[in-house]
Amino acid sequence: MIKKTPMSGGKKVKVTFELKPKSGAAAISLVGDFNGWSREATPMKLRKKDGVFAASLTLPVSQTFQFRYWIDDRRWENDWAADDYVPNGHGEDNSVVHT
């Protein structure tokens, strides 16, 4: 799930990415255009109350970013509530968020 909150000034938006994995996960990272596709740059935090992993980023408005979730250092997952999906050249799709 993706939540977007406009910030004062109108040039940035706070985007909160949330994922409740289908099976138990120990660690999830948010990986995409916004962090150079680094698997270490944006670790998500687990909310124990509901089992959801979350991370928030401040991004410029009117932009498009591709991203995926990296789970337990072994598999990729998309956000099935993303704004769009595009082929990634590896036989799969990337999730897309429009700000």
Query: Domain map of the chain by residue range?
Result: 2-98
Which pLDDT does position 22 carry in this prediction?
77
The answer, as to whether pTM is greater than 0.85, is: yes
Q: Are 14 and 56 contacting, i.e. CB atoms less than 8 angstroms apart?
A: yes
CATH superfamily entry for domain 2-98: Immunoglobulins (2.60.40.10)
Task: Report the distance separating Cα 75 and Cα 44, nearest Å.
Answer: 15
User: What is the maximum alpha-carbon separation in the chain?
Assistant: 40
If pLDDT is split at 50, 70 and 90, which confidence band does 95 have? very high
Instruction: Say how far apart CA 81 and CA 84 lie, in whole Å.
Output: 8
Q: What is the pLDDT of residue 64?
A: 98
**Per residue in 16-72, pLDDT tens?**
999 998 778 999 999 999 999 999 999 999 999 999 999 999 999 999 999 999 999
Closest CA to 72 of 31, 28, 33, 39: 28
Q: What confidence score (pLDDT) does residue 10 get?
A: 86
Polymer length in residues for the chain? 99
